Amino acid sequence: MPTSDRPQVPSSQARFSYEGLDRIIHERARLSVLTSLVSHPRGLAFPDLKRLCGLTDGNLSRHLAVLQEADLVSLEKGYDQNRPQTLCRLTPSGRTRFLDYLGVLEQVVRDAAQAAGKPQPASGHDRSSLAKPA
């Protein structure tokens, strides 16, 4: 049956719809960028971020543009020892959106484990340490 011919399920019954999985964040390279930045609240220089994420200059630039347009990251251009430098940081709203995304992702893991009949992973992760910049 084509998707358009299927009856619509009310969102209250769509247990596994995970609307909080933000498509902008969920892309692998952007997820890598945001994960790197959340652990560096003071920001990262472009070359350091490129190295951590394993991306090329052009690829990282494009993903940063998407994240900046969505107000998830800010880019500050300046100089360090007379050399141009771009400093990349999570915005306050970007940090909040990313932490919300992680909460939904944790629910996906719990639901998948439960559906597979496996013991649910202990929620031993304390995201509060990521919630506030140092």
Tokens at 10, concatenated: 């009310």
Q: Identify the residue whose tokens are 């880019």.
A: 75
DSSP state of 122: P
Whether 58 contacts 22, CB under 8 Å: no
Give the model confidence (pLDDT) of 21-42 as tens digits.
Answer: 889 999 999 999 999 999 999 9
Distance from C-alpha of 69 to C-alpha of 71, rounded to nearest angstrom: 5
pTM above 0.85, yes or no: no
Distance from C-alpha of 108 to C-alpha of 10, rounded to nearest angstrom: 19
pLDDT of 11 strictly over 60: no
Q: Of 60, 64, 65, nearest to 47 (Cα)? A: 60
